[in-house]
Amino acid sequence: MRLFTRLKATVTTGFDSLISRVENHEALVAAAIGETKAAAGKVRVRLQRVRRDTETMRKRIAELEREEEAWRRRAVEAPQDQDERGLECVRRRRRARREREHLAREVDSHVALERQLTADLRKVDERIAQLQRRKNTLSAREYRTRAVRAGELDTRGIVDDIDEILDRWEAKLTEKEPGTCCDRDAFEAEYVREEEDAELRRELDALRAQRAAPPAGSTEARATATG
């Protein structure tokens, strides 16, 4: 864990004062992120070594368990008149058991270290991603600010220019489109009005004729029918 303590101290010590003095903030932040990634890469290498060592020790523990069982069986099967052989089997069984128990404690320690390194790396990766996103956002703001100050970007001016261009384009199209002459429009409109007036008058005459006609079943209606 001392590695992360040194890393944090290296990145954060004097960072604010440097920011205020260095004009190229983006380069400074990029360098800090790069150093953090490099340090995280070293921790990943160490984590892989811890995992390999843990796997090796687990395999050795399995071998020692088999050896311990084998020496136990040999001690039991040793002839009673050959105590030295039986005692040596017990001695080797104990030695295998002590090594197995020692490796088991080492495995527990390595597993705890592996979990801690994994958690620390996850936090560092999240922090790097967060810093990268913020750097990109601030870089975009910085570029836009520089462009506006240099007169390269003026949103309102661009919009006004586009509207003016569209107005001129529409005016040219209106001039070139066939059948848009004002005289022809007025001439056609006159015919349309006359035809509409004639249709309206026919409908009006039909309504008046219905009103003037006597109701069905009345004396006038029967007289009109017989006449």
Residue 184: per-residue pLDDT: 54
Q: Does residue 36 carry a pLDDT above 60?
A: yes
Across residues 47-53, what is the average pLDDT?
A: 94
Say if residue 22's pLDDT is above 50.
no
Domain endpoint, select from 127, 153, 179: 153
Q: Tell me whether residue 223 is in a domain.
A: no
Q: Are residues 192 and 136 in the same domain?
A: no
Most confident option among 43-47, 81-85, 209-213, 223-227: 43-47
Residue 208 belongs to what domain range?
A: 166-213
Q: Are residues 136 and 173 in the same domain?
A: no
Structure tokens at 154: 């003026």
pLDDT at 32: 84
Q: Is the pTM of this model over 0.75?
A: no
| Least confident among 11-20, 34-43, 64-73, 138-147 | 11-20
Work out the pLDDT band at 187, boundaries 50, 70, 90.
confident
**Residue 220 confidence (pLDDT):** 58
Residue 220: inside a domain, yes or no?
no
Predicted confidence at residue 94, as pLDDT, reads 92
Length of the chain equals: 227
- Does residue 68 lie within any of the structural domains? yes
Residues 169-207 as b or e (16 or more Cβ within 10 Å = b)? eeeeeeeeeeeeeeeeeeeeeeeeeeeeeeeeeeeeeee
**Residue 226, pLDDT score:** 55
150-181 per-position pLDDT tens digit: 665 555 555 566 677 777 887 877 777 665 55
**How much of the chain, in percent, has pLDDT values that exceed 70?**
72
pLDDT band at 6 (very low <50, low <70, confident <90, very high): low
pLDDT over 70 at 40, yes or no: yes
Residue pair 118/47 in contact (Cβ under 8 Å)? The answer is yes
Q: Are 27 and 129 part of one and the same domain? A: yes
Q: Is residue 218 part of a domain?
A: no
Q: Answer yes or no: do 64 and 18 share one domain.
A: yes
Is residue 158 a part of any domain in this protein? no
- Contact between 100 and 68 under an 8 Å Cβ cutoff? The reply is yes
> Within this chain, do residues 180 and 137 fall inside the same structural domain, yes or no?
no
Q: What is the DSSP string of 146-169?
A: HHHHTTS--HHHHHHHHHHHHHHH
pLDDT of residue 5: 58
Q: Based on the domain organization, do 112 and 179 belong to the same domain? A: no
Among 14-18, 112-116, 125-129, 164-168, top mean pLDDT goes to 112-116
